[in-house]
Amino acid sequence: MSFEVGENGEIAAALRTVPGLVVPGHWRATRLSGLSNRVYRVDGPGLGVVVRLPRAETAGLVDRKAEARNARIAEDLGIGAPILHLDPQTGVMVTQLVPGVRPLKAGAVSAAQAARAGRTFARLHGSGRRFAGVYRPSATIGEAIGGLRDDRILALGRRAAEAAQRLEATAGPPVPCHCDPVPDNALDDGKLVRLVDWEYSAMADPAWDLAYFVLETGLDVSAQAALLDAYSSPQLAGRVEVMKPICDMVSGLWALGQAAAGNPAADFNAYGMARLARAESALAGE
């Protein structure tokens, strides 16, 4: 359901930050999906844009200056959305709507789409560019379990952190990574998969992006093979499998934190517990 932009002062204010953009009252906005942000498609005469407004529940979790730098690099590499406005102080961002793109749909990603994503990750990881920030999942897990009182989740978190530390000990040099390639952040136009929302991007192990993408998009065996074939680095396949429960542990703990913060975007408790259960099952089979 769409509505007039004038009915939402935040959207109108965001649009006014774009140089040269005239915002008449008949521009219409449509809410898009998003777990950590409020995202709107806004359509006007001859132009479409996407407005991202941060949620209060995620305040303090994102380094907006790092995001701004990394998103600009992704745009320069041709794998991000064209940025019209990005304010590191508020996190408000306006991007140009790319014609013909659709977000990937979890559980319905074809081998061809997975291959396009693999080529995008390869371009990013092999770019030689330097992102702001360094991401180490062992540190994220260690910090997240610090205040836990649930003994079962605490024990699982410690096992996952140890697995992450072992993987980190054998990692090569970190590369620029998106770090949150969920389906809504992967936009496909049939030729290229673009990545958006670079909030958690950093220098990291490339296996993280690949494993996280496989899990969150629900790739089947053939689609995962297509992803890795297109990425052209078969030696990463083993690391991707080891990384999967680590990804699930981080996702699960993040989701439980969102549930505790009262984020209404989804049933984060169920979301988190499902990922922790999957992580537990995988770690038990090590």
Computed over every residue of the chain, the mean pLDDT equals 92
Residue 45: what pLDDT?
77
More confident residue, 151 or 47: 151
In this prediction, residues 63-71 reach a mean pLDDT of 95
In percent, how much of the chain has pLDDT > 90? 73
CATH superfamily of 102-284: Aminoglycoside phosphotransferase (APH), C-terminal lobe (3.90.1200.10)
Is residue 58 pLDDT above 70, yes or no? no
Helix (H, G, I), strand (E, B) or coil at 230: helix
Eight-class DSSP state of 134: B
Residue 37: what pLDDT?
85
Confidence band, pLDDT 50/70/90 cuts, at residue 149: confident
What distances in angstroms separate CA 48 from CA 10, 82, 96, 99, 143, one per listed residue?
17, 12, 6, 9, 40
Residue 80: what pLDDT?
97
| Matching residue, tokens 């359509």 | 43
* Distance, CA of 207 to CA of 121 (rounded, Å): 10
Boundaries of every domain in the chain: 2-96, 102-284
Residue 19: what pLDDT?
83
Helix (H, G, I), strand (E, B) or coil at 194: strand
Confidence band, pLDDT 50/70/90 cuts, at residue 265: confident
* CB 198 within 8 Å of CB 69: no
**2-96 maps to CATH 3.40.47.10:** no
What distances in angstroms separate CA 87 from CA 16, 18, 69, 150, 189, one per listed residue?
13, 11, 11, 38, 27
Residue 59: what pLDDT?
67
pTM (2 decimals)?
A: 0.92
Helix (H, G, I), strand (E, B) or coil at 78: coil
In this prediction, residues 191-212 reach a mean pLDDT of 98
Order the strands of the 193-195 sheet from edge to edge.
Answer: 102-103, 186-188, 193-195
Closest among 194, 13, 4, 202 to 90, alpha carbons compared: 13
